[in-house]
């Protein structure tokens, strides 16, 4: 169960469990110093050879008549080196160290630095700890009927001078956290439950936050001539959907910014069937669409002052008597024809129509699509960076910067006319695969043929959305990658 986070200015923690922060010299703020009046804490620190290194913890068991049941010292290391992400990690670490404690009092303070400017811990840092505590406690356990950790309510009370400022900031950040966890839920959900129709239904719940949501069904997409997308959907009994989510946080008739997500609810490869080993991971082939949905939740929850469109293209890629074949030629909504040489290169087909439709209908300031598009991006970048492909240097810079701030990192990859040639086809305007090499780049070149002159970026999140490294703020298979990154991009550059 997710902890409740609150902020309080009180500097005397209740009896119970207290967390103190210590820097790399084992120095603590005023509350820590007060608790150590009799030297008990210093003695324990010394006995345990605790050094106050980042993320290291020392739990002190207190005598029966002590004012507190438990004292946890958490090292933060060199204070001036702490980045935003480190505060998230600290929050996750603190909560995990005290997972069985119903109320945790975190004394968010550190000793004043040499310059005496000294703000122990800022409001933003308090909020980051709270967000980290929530994200780190997320578990996908809704299908476990046995052995589920007993649902006990937990409160993390963060005590700080800046409590009232932190409270104000928290409202927005809690919504961003919920957006991340919504994306994780969607990616973790199995494909027998999360069909295109069910996904669209969940996206429609964003209406509760003030978004408008239009759902296109197969008939609507047929009349729009989205034959590239529909070709992929043909093999499945689960009919495709496209959800168009709009958040109008700006009164002006400002052009919107647009985010488009690949939502292949399961990717068998189709007739070009994937091998059996690991195929279960392809329930996560809608990680792009999940991030867009989570992002729209985040922006609406924090009432972002921006006009934003989110489009998610939802299909299932199955082999079937009616599935499309290698060699088939389809006409995309843009009018360009595509020779299908591998039915497993389906994400780009789905996105081709979604991007074209988005551009034509909304004339957005920019389009950013997210997609678990290629296995090749895992070969290139592993799971530390998403691949960034773009026709716009400014947008790329903004994404890289937001990536470093949120630790949802991107790495720019090339797009050039030479790579573009690799997808020219003898029989149609293009083919849907480029050949053995540069697979992530030729996929990017393919998408670029559907965006016109609109500033555009493609994030290949095949390595970052799922099978994620376990960190202080994520203990789940699905990371929710992209939500914090794009929320930050909007906050930094696109709000009035
Ligand atoms: N959904 C996959 C890409 C993928 C692979 C995502 C591993 C997450 C983890 C995509 O649809 C796909 O099958 N791509 C093919 C492209 C190839 C046929 C050109 C690939 O990467 O092998
Ligand atoms: Mn595929
Ligand atoms: Zn796929």
Nearest CA to 131 among 101, 95, 107? 95
CB 355 within 8 A of CB 455: no
Atom in ligand 1 nearest the alpha carbon of residue 433? 19
- Residue whose Cα lies nearest atom 22 of ligand 1: it is 375
Counting atoms of ligand 1 from 1, which one is nearest the CA of 372?
Answer: 6
Taking CA atoms only, the protein residue closest to ligand 1 atom 16 is: 345
460 lines ligand 1 (CB under 6 A): no
Query: Does ligand 1 have an atom closer than 6 angstroms to the CB of 464?
Result: no
Q: Is the CB of 344 under 6 A from ligand 1?
A: yes
Instruction: Give pLDDT tens digits along the chain (496 positions).
Output: 899 999 999 887 888 899 999 999 999 998 899 889 889 999 999 999 999 999 999 999 887 778 888 999 999 999 989 999 999 999 999 999 999 999 999 999 988 765 544 456 999 999 999 999 999 999 999 999 997 766 789 999 999 989 999 999 999 899 999 999 999 999 999 999 999 999 999 999 999 999 999 999 999 999 999 999 999 999 999 999 999 999 999 988 889 999 999 999 999 999 999 999 999 999 999 999 999 999 999 999 999 999 999 999 999 999 999 999 999 999 999 999 999 999 999 999 999 999 999 999 999 999 999 999 999 999 999 999 999 999 999 999 999 999 999 999 999 999 999 999 999 999 999 999 999 999 999 999 999 999 999 999 999 999 999 999 999 999 999 999 999 999 999 999 999 9
CA atoms 244, 264, 224, 234: torsion sign: negative
* Protein residues placing their CB within 5 Å of the ion ligand 2: 267, 344, 346
Ligand 1 closest atom vs CA 442: 19
268 CA to centre of ligand 2 in angstroms:
7
CA of 152 to the centre of ligand 3 (A): 39
Closest residue by Cα to atom 7, ligand 1, is: 375
Q: Is the CB of 52 under 6 A from ligand 1?
A: no
232 within ligand 1 shell (Cβ under 6 A):
no
Q: Please state the atom number of ligand 1 nearest to the C-alpha of residue 467.
A: 9
271, two tokens = 């007739």
Give the catalytic positions in this structure. Answer: 274, 348
pTM of the model: 0.97
Contacts of 321 (CB under 8 A, 6+ apart): none
Question: Are residues 332 and 357 in contact, defined by beta-carbon separation less than 8 angstroms?
Answer: no
Name the residue of 374, 466, 468 to mutate for ligand 1: max ligand atoms within 8 A of Cβ.
374
């Amino acid at each position: 169960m997710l902890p409740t986070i609150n902020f309080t200015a009180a500097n005397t923690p209740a009896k119970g469990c207290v967390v103190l922060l210590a820097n790399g010299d084992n120095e603590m703020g005023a509350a820590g110093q007060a608790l150590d009046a009799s030297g008990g804490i210093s003695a324990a620190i010394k006995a345990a050879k605790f050094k106050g290194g980042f993320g290291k913890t020392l739990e002190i068991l207190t005598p029966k008549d002590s004012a507190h049941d438990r004292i946890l010292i958490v090292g933060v290391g060199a204070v001036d080196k702490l980045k935003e992400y480190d505060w998230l990690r600290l929050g996750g670490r603190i909560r995990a160290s005290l997972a069985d404690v119903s109320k945790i009092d975190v004394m968010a303070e550190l000793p004043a630095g040499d310059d005496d400017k000294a703000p122990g811990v800022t409001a933003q840092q308090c909020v980051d700890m709270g967000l980290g505590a929530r994200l780190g406690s997320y578990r996908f356990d809704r299908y476990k009927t046995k052995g589920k950790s007993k649902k006990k309510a937990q409160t993390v009370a963060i005590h700080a001078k800046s409590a009232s400022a932190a409270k104000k900031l928290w409202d927005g950040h809690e919504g961003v956290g919920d957006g991340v966890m919504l994306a994780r839920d969607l990616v973790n959900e199995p494909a027998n439950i999360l069909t295109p129709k069910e996904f669209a239904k969940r996206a429609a719940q964003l209406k509760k936050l003030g978004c408008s949501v239009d759902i296109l069904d197969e008939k609507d997409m047929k009349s729009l001539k989205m034959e590239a997308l529909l070709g992929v959907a043909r093999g499945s009994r689960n009919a495709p959907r496209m959800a168009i989510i709009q958040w109008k946080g700006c009164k002006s008739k400002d052009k919107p910014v647009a985010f488009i997500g690949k939502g292949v609810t399961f990717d068998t490869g189709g007739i070009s069937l994937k091998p059996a080993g690991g195929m279960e991971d392809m329930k996560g082939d809608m990680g792009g669409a999940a991030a867009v949905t989570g992002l729209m939740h985040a922006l609406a929850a924090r009432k972002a002052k921006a006009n934003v469109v989110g489009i998610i293209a939802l299909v299932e890629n199955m082999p079937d008597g009616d599935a499309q074949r290698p060699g088939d030629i389809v006409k995309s909504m843009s009018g360009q024809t595509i020779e299908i040489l591998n039915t497993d290169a389906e994400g780009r087909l789905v996105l081709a129509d979604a991007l074209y439709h988005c551009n034509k209908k909304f004339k957005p300031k920019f389009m950013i699509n997210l997609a678990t598009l290629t296995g090749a991006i895992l070969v290139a970048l592993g799971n530390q960076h998403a691949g960034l492909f773009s026709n716009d240097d400014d947008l790329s810079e903004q994404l890289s910067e937001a990536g470093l701030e949120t630790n949802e990192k991107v790495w720019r990859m090339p797009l050039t006319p030479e790579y573009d040639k690799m997808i020219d086809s003898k029989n149609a305007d293009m083919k849907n695969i480029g050949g053995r090499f540069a697979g992530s780049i030729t996929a990017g070149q393919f998408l670029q043929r559907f965006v016109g002159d609109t500033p555009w970026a493609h994030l290949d999140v095949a390595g970052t959305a799922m099978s994620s490294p376990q960190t202080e703020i994520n203990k789940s298979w699905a990371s929710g990658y992209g939500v914090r990154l794009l929320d930050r991009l909007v906050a930094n550059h696109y709000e009035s």
